[in-house]
Amino acid sequence: MISRQDIFDYVKEKYDISPDYPWKKFSNFAALRHKDNKKWFGLIMDITEDKLGIKGDNKIDVLNVKARKEFIGSLRENENIFPAYHMDKNNWVSIVLDYTKDVDDIRDLIAESYELTIK
- CATH code for residues 4-116: 3.90.1150.30
Mean of the per-residue pLDDT values for the chain?
Answer: 93
Distance, in Å, from the CA atom of 64 to the CA atom of 25, rounded to the nearest integer, reads: 19
Domain ranges of the chain: 4-116
Provide the whole-model pTM: 0.93
Task: Quote the pLDDT of residue 102.
Answer: 80
- Over residues 56-76, the mean pLDDT reads 93
